[in-house]
Structure 1
Amino acid sequence: MRAYDDLKKKPWWQQWLAKRVIALLVLASVAGFVVYYLAFASRKFEVIQSPSFDEKLKEVCEKPILPMLEYRGVQSFFQYLLHPDSDYCYSWVEFGGEKIPIPSQSERECADEVRKSKYACFNDEYKMTHDPCLIYSFDKDFDNQFERDMDMFSCEVHAFDVNKVKEAEHVQRTEFWKEHAWTIGEYPYDKPQEGGSVERRRSLDFITTALQHKQREIKLMKSDLEGREWILLRQVVTHSQTLDIKQLAVRLHIPTSVNMMSGESRHEYFGKLYQVFQGLSCAGYKYVLGRPIRYYKGTLRIPEMTNQTYFPAYEVNWVKVKSS
């Protein structure tokens, strides 16, 4: 109080100057606290800065392991999607899945309609029956059948699902089956959701570092993500030189809204998606299996593809081949 009274006795210009100095000191203190808090809050996400997908795409395609794919319009996308190298894998094993009868289908068609089943290529070079066996699963079904199958197959299974892993951020189901309340992201951050919760998005680099899998072989990466599977595949390309992922079993979705795009917008849209195919091929991933998911509603009618319709979702598989 005495200091304040003394200040009131000083000339007006000294009072004005003193008040400005005090205000600046207060602002500096607040700014310092904010900087410190942000630095502290971000410490848990400290990882080596990853290159962007575009940078890595250019790098891996300078010396491609498999022939570089050329994009020549929307037709290129569907030409690739519908023509896997189906002779490459001579042995397949199915995991997970649930048969769903559809009234409009014949008995034979119905027998082929399997929900969320995944195939793994059992060629000798992939050593699927050898230990250690590490499996990643992004988005899991309610019955956990895929994870149960892989656990029974004596694999170490890590499932990632922000919508179904609710007990904690990390849950131990069995000795070798763990679940994480994470989903894939281009970089690690928490996205606020309605109700005060957060969606924990994590990059592949963050996930493998946090789980101490950086130097380990991942025999199979499975995904039933809807929409974010393209982010996952970009992440595979981005980190293809530091992560050893042998097989990919992914559900791909194509929004039916592409029917309503202008020709130029559709060309650019599928060109961006096709870059993922290009990156996977350059990184040594051979496309070996593609099958439409028939129970999804809606069809794709692409104006550039006259008199043809396509399904809005496909189950697809890639396997990593050895570089020559």
Structure 2
Amino acid sequence: MIWSTYSHNRSSGKQYWTRYKRTYVVVMIAATTASALLYLLLRRVQNEVHPVSKFEDKLREACANPLLPMLEYRGVQSFFEYLTKPDDSHCYSWVEFGGEKIPIPSQSEKECTDEVRKTKYICFNEEYNMTHDPCLVYSFGKDVDNQFERDMELFSCEVHAFDHEKVTEAEHVQRSEFWREHAWNIAAFPYDLPEEGGKVQRRRSLDYIVGALSHGGRQINFLKSDLEGREWILLRQVISSLHLLDVRQIGVRLHIPVDVNKKTGEARHQYFAKLFQVFQGLQCAGYKYVMGRAIRYYKGVVRIPEIGNITYFPAYEVNWAKVV
């Protein structure tokens, strides 16, 4: 009787341990899965945070030993002082590429002639070797008529255009022997952004692009941007990637939101201080601000309460040239 009870209890215990082991395995699998998901989540968060710290690290590194005198941010007015006062004595030779005339009602003939859409000027000083091979050009945000890219190709440059909205045939399209287009949009780190209809927006960082195209260590003669809203990300990427590529000239369309006057004074101060870091980084890295043109056909004006009755245009065509 005692043996029988013992046998029964041992059998029950065996069943208990079997159930315990199964429960333990299930719990461990769930915990492992949760840990893996948490790890991936943390990695994604780190990847999102990392580009910011990377830009700030490169900014500090470049400005620790600046190649040109350090710029000082003294409030919102200093942002517009820099933007409206380029050093127009550095480049003695300019050549125009791309662009089309846009007639606007109520303008004089002179004003109409001044309005050029998508035009990019490139400094042709001898030290920039624009007439030497190989010539490499990056174009972010291309026009429908591809005029800039065509001009660059005819000028015997290898041109790579990046536009996820206009490059729709495939991720990479070979237009000609030296003209390629990529369905990529600039971002602080590479990732795919799902869109409606099952489409995916491929966002890529500049260091990813340079690596994927095997351009590491090469000289980029001209980097052009007609992006709207992401041009500041691109410029931060240029500073973050100083160790990877040698960009000699930059031609970018900069946009300033017209509703910036609705921010509080402190928020506006912080907003322009962040943008001014780009100017500081480029200056420290040896890029001289050589041309700034207001884009006059954009609607609206930018008003800054701290500056008074002065108004500014919401977009500017700007050029930097690296002092070599």
Report the Cα offset of residue 32 of structure 1.
9.2
Report the Cα offset of residue 129 of structure 1.
0.6
Amino acid at match of 1:201: R
Instruction: Specify which of 290, 296, 299 is matched with residue 297 of structure 1.
Output: 299
Match of 1:76 in 2: 78
Match of 2:172 in 1: 170
CA contact (8 A) 2:51 2:188 kept: no
1:90-239 counterparts in 2 under 5 A? 90-239=92-241
Q: Secondary structure of the equivalent of 1:304?
A: coil
Report the Cα offset of residue 242 of structure 1.
2.7
CA distance in 1, matches of 2:153, 2:246: 21
CA distance in 1, matches of 2:38, 2:100: 52
The 1:105/1:243 distance shift into structure 2, 3 A limit, reads same
Report the Cα offset of residue 11 of structure 1.
6.4
CA distance in 1, matches of 2:146, 2:25: 61
Instruction: Specify which of 308, 313, 316 is matched with residue 314 of structure 1.
Output: 316
CA contact (8 A) 1:135 1:218 kept: yes
CA contact (8 A) 1:51 1:238 kept: no
CA distance in 2, matches of 1:239, 1:18: 53
Moved more, 303-312 or 130-139: 303-312
The 1:18/1:160 distance shift into structure 2, 3 A limit, reads same
CA contact (8 A) 2:187 2:203 kept: yes
Report the Cα offset of residue 64 of structure 1.
0.1
CA distance in 1, matches of 2:52, 2:85: 33
CA distance in 2, matches of 1:55, 1:120: 30
CA distance in 1, matches of 2:241, 2:205: 10
The 1:61/1:29 distance shift into structure 2, 3 A limit, reads closer
Match of 1:282 in 2: 284
User: Who wins on radius of gyration, i.e. which is larger?
Assistant: 2
CA distance in 2, matches of 1:27, 1:300: 55
1:164-202 CA deviation, whole Å, 9 max, x = no partner? 001111000011000001111111111122222221111
Report the Cα offset of residue 33 of structure 1.
8.7
Report the Cα offset of residue 12 of structure 1.
6.1
Match of 2:263 in 1: 261
Q: Secondary structure of the equivalent of 2:82?
A: helix
Where do 5+ consecutive residues of structure 2 fail to align? 1-10
Amino acid at match of 2:323: V
Instruction: Specify which of 20, 25, 35 is matched with residue 23 of structure 2.
Output: 20
Aligned length: 308
CA distance in 1, matches of 2:188, 2:86: 27
Instruction: Specify which of 270, 273, 289 is matched with residue 271 of structure 1.
Output: 273
CA distance in 2, matches of 1:26, 1:313: 55
Identity, % of aligned positions: 64
Amino acid at match of 2:300: G
- Aligned-residue CA RMSD in angstroms? 2.4
Where do 5+ consecutive residues of structure 1 fail to align? 1-7
CA contact (8 A) 1:151 1:177 kept: yes
Amino acid at match of 1:242: L
Q: Which has the higher helix share?
A: 2
CA distance in 2, matches of 1:178, 1:27: 47
Query: Structure 2-normalised TM-score?
Result: 0.89
1:204-253 CA deviation, whole Å, 9 max, x = no partner? 11111110111211000000011110011011111123310000000000
Amino acid at match of 1:155: C
